Amino acid sequence: MKPLVLIALFALTVAASPILVGPIGLDGVGILTNPDCSQHGAECLGGLGLVFSASGPNGTDTVSIRVDSVAMTLFNSPHYLQDLNLQALVFDASSSMCGTYDSPGHPRYYCDVSIDGISGFGAFSNIGGDIGTLQVFDKPYDGNLLAQAQIMNTHIEVTSVVYRPGFPQCPTCPSFEGHFPGTGQFLATFAIVDAPADIPEPSSLILLSGGLLLLFRARSVL
């Protein structure tokens, strides 16, 4: 194969590669509800509804995420029961969980993610855990990955909770007259905080995970 052809193929491969950035932390606020009772099709059966916005820089890169509808239930999250207890909150949503169709061919998306100015259809995982990710796709449902950010040192802290009577599962709800223990509805507000005092700063984590850092710091040019 001729050298010019090889160069052209290499350029196409690089152009198709997603941008990978991080590690980076997030700061923001949000609301978690049980049940999810919005106008966009939730059944009020106890699924967790989520609204939050957060962003963060690390001196080189910037990321942001906005989840703008409680219609996005978190039944399928691996941390669903953990989140239902309002302890050690960790949020996950795949690209399919982040969207729905208002009508055939007209997707409605609830997760907007921007990574270094690249915006699109979003997905996220393990936000609130030790290491998480934000992702940007060019379209919902089996889209191409455009950018991904490694999220570190982010914790979610509940700041207030309001309880009401109800029958969905709610381990933290108090007993209401006429309602069974462990059931009810809640509306919890929370803060997303970067690098608490008892968690190592990103610089320490970088030294401990140099190989992983090199992978994420290697950025392709679109």
Kindly report, residue by residue over 57-86, the tens digit of the pLDDT.
999 999 999 998 655 667 778 888 899 999
Q: Which pLDDT belongs to residue 43?
A: 57
CA 91 to centroid of chain Cα atoms: 6
Strands (E), 58-142: 62-67, 91-93, 99-103, 106-109, 111-115, 118-127, 131-137
Q: Which of 126, 164, 127, 123 is nearest to 34 (CA)?
A: 164
According to DSSP, residue 201 is labeled: -
Q: How confident is the model at residue 195 (pLDDT cuts 50, 70, 90)?
A: low
CA-to-CA distance for 53 and 66, rounded, in angstroms? 4
Question: pTM, whole model, 2 decimals?
Answer: 0.75
For 10-35, the pLDDT digits (tens) are 333 344 689 999 899 999 999 998 87
